[in-house]
């Protein structure tokens, strides 16, 4: 956002993401809906604390078919993620919401489809040994902007959606709201 010329302050939302997700998943909510509900919850919570500010909330889910993935908690979880994704196409669902005065005024979900090449168990072990705990910081157990790019054979979608903040739709909305020069 800074590289796009936006002036902002990063403030973490005080929400329990797992508590919000649990009933959604029990009700069969899809990955888009989960990402959007979380993005809106983050935007609203911060907006309630800073009522006159325009607040951006975002969240991303990763899905393989109907299965929604969460960040791996251990290196064994990361290994299982990569083994499951190997040779398959998964989807990143990046949601964004704008709030002002505690009200959601805009929402959007963008998608990217990523096809992971076939990975051998030996390669997965070597890869995770090289990247270490960084594998635990993302839902897919990879960082596309780093060595994780080596895991893929095909990517359909824009970079910003992949890293979790769909900048092009956001910038368009900010122009429409008159917040940035358009």
Q: Is the dihedral of CA 133, 81, 121, 90 positive or negative?
A: negative
Contact by Cβ (8 Å): 100, 55: yes
User: What residues does 108 pair with on adjacent strands?
Assistant: 96
Considering the candidates 48, 59, 118, 122, report the single residue annotated as catalytic.
59
Tell me the Ramachandran region of residue 181: left when phi exceeds 0, alpha when psi lies from -120 to 50, beta otherwise.
Answer: beta
Cβ-contact 59, 35 below 8 angstroms: yes
59 is catalytic: yes
Mind telling me the catalytic residues? 59
């Amino acid at each position: 956002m800074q590289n796009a010329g936006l002036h902002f302050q990063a403030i973490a939302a005080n929400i329990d993401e797992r508590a919000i997700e649990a009933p959604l998943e029990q009700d069969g909510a899809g990955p888009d809906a989960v990402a959007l509900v979380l993005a809106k919850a983050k935007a609203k919570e911060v907006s309630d604390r800073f009522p006159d500010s325009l607040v951006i909330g975002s969240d991303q889910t990763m899905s393989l078919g109907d299965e929604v993935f969460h960040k791996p908690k251990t290196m064994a979880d990361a290994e299982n993620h990569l083994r499951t994704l190997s040779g398959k196409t998964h989807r990143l669902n990046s949601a964004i919401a704008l709030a002002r005065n505690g009200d959601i005024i805009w929402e959007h979900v963008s998608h990217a489809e990523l096809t992971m090449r076939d990975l051998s168990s030996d390669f997965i072990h070597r890869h995770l040994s090289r990247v270490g705990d960084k594998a635990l910081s993302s839902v897919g157990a990879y960082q596309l902007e780093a060595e994780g790019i080596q895991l893929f054979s095909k990517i359909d979608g824009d970079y910003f959606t992949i890293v979790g903040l769909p900048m092009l739709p956001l910038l368009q909305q900010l122009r429409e709201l008159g917040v940035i020069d358009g």
